[in-house]
Amino acid sequence: MVGMSKRVGMGLFLLLAVTFLIVNRGAYKGYFQDDELDNISWTTQISPADYLKGLVTPRFAENNFRPVGHFYFREAAQLFGLNFPAYVLLLQFVHLLNVSLLWLLLRRLDAPPWAAAAACAFFAFHMALFDAVWKPMYVFDVFCTTLCVASILLFAQRRWILSFAAFWLAYKAKEIAILLPLVLACYEYWFGKRRWKPLLPFFLVSILFGVQGLFLNPNRNNDYTFHFTAVALAQTSVYYAGRVLLVPYLGFVFPAAALWWARNRRVWFGLAMLALFLAPLLFLPGRLFSAYCYLPFTGLAVAFAGLAEAVGPIPLAAFFLLWLPLDYTALRAQRRATLARDDLAREWVTTLAKYSATNPRVDTIVYSGAPEGFAKWGVEGAIRFLFRADQPQIYAAEQPAARQSFQSGRVALLTWDAPARQAAIVTHTPELQDASYVTINAATPIWQLDEGWYERERDYRWIAPFAKGHLWRPAGTRQFALRVNVGPELLQKSGPVTVSLVVDGQELAPRQFAVKGWQEARWNVPERPPGPVTVTFRASPGYKAPDSRQLGVAVGGFGFR
């Protein structure tokens, strides 16, 4: 093994670390997404004993409990709360630790220092791994990689027990580690003394969890279902091949080129690592995520070092001159998209956090809408975490229970205004007087919209051909108004729309809307004492939307004037 002084090695690593942090400094401007907020919310609610039990049990976790990564979320949530940069700092620290472990592994495999350094840089800055070093949700992959590489190093040092412990923890970080025993067998075959007995407990554990996973996996016909078919393999292999060098299909060429140019054990072992760690992902066509390449690409880096050693420094430098612009272009594109999405999530969560800190206890939280791509579990996870002392009931606005909740207790209505990119919260109590005129916007009191109302679209809501609402009739009012938006598609499909209203038991004269655009109709109504009234809407002839909804007309506002 050709040596390198510790001073030079430390200097190179420090240079790599500083460069990495500068290049990826934008990660600290990001924010949590739905999966992360969901994990933060529930991991703080279970005891350390539950994590310990999950860590030592030989039973397959049907609920997808991963005690290593989930414990990280528990501790980080208690230490940092929703301080996103702190999560990223820890994530990137572990990534740099993995780079150093990869260096130790490459040197253990007798890779020349310059080839090992190039491979470490290739892995550290590879933008296929962007999300793994920007988003805390992928800490499962990052921790699993730490423990897998540590297990290989310990196995190479004949420290069997510690290697086995690292393998066990790696599996408890993420199930992709299940084929690590085959990787260790490859190491023993090409670099060891071909002693197979120490591998027996590794294979027994792998078989134990593998068989349970196949027969106890609760996922059927969803994105987490394994598909052992040629169609699935064709789809996934094309995707992951495009991640290898960030060029579509070029990943299919790399193994053949590496085997042709560099017939050494490092290439063989690296390609075996890549294939074995990637194998489970090749049969999950519903879960195609670039960050999942994180562990398999340690094998790619090992093969890269073997190829670099064979071709020499000059071709290696030429490769980096061609590849780094591609890598940087991928960084810019992903950074722009990620930060734009994270800005919306930050606005939504920050509004909710300010409300939770400055308002009295609430019994129920009803949410209407969320930033694009922000799933239900993230919405409810953020609410559970921020209101963990209150433990309110949580409902989506379209749930029947949401409308019932407004009849009792203190209810917070959280709405997302997508065009304005803003969140708003209003509080409702049973004694609160209803509005006399309802405007459809982010602050609409949806408790006054009874049956037949669909989700808000910008500044209107579609109603079904039959719908109801209720208002407060103020003293002295003599007019009732209805504002509608008639679209060209509605007119084309069903013709003019006739709307009939019944206000407080009085049937108003039907009005026909035959031209497109916003328009308002008004009716004179007799003066009556103030009080609550019910409004009934009938729109004909009705229109069946492409999404199968039965639509009447788009309403922008209604009420007394």
What are the extents of the domains in the chain? 24-313, 360-432, 434-561
- Determine the pLDDT at residue 63: 86
The values of phi and psi at residue 24, to 5°, are: -105, 25
Judged by DSSP in three states, 68 sits in helix
In angstroms, rounded to a whole number, what is the distance separating the alpha carbons of residues 41 and 166?
Answer: 28
Write the CATH number of the domain with boundaries 434-561.
Answer: 2.60.120.260
Question: What residues of the chain score a pLDDT lower than 50?
Answer: 1
In angstroms, rounded to a whole number, what is the distance separating the alpha carbons of residues 224 and 194?
Answer: 37
Judged by DSSP in three states, 227 sits in coil
Q: Which residues pair with 260 in a beta bridge?
A: none
Using alpha carbons, select from 112, 205, 115, 134 the residue that is nearest to residue 167: 205
Helices 139-156 and 160-173, axial angle in degrees (round to 10): 170
Q: Which two tokens stand for residue 511?
A: 């009005």
Helices 230-244 and 250-261, axial angle in degrees (round to 10): 70
Helices 180-190 and 265-278, axial angle in degrees (round to 10): 170
Q: Which two tokens stand for residue 75?
A: 């501790």
The values of phi and psi at residue 180, to 5°, are: -55, -40
Judged by DSSP in three states, 482 sits in strand
Beta carbons of 448 and 438 less than 8 angstroms apart: yes
The DSSP output letter for 191 is T
Burial label for 450, CB within 10 Å (0-12, 13-18, 19+), is: middle
Q: Which two tokens stand for residue 261?
A: 């140019």
Angle (CA) 452-498-500 rounded to 5° is 60
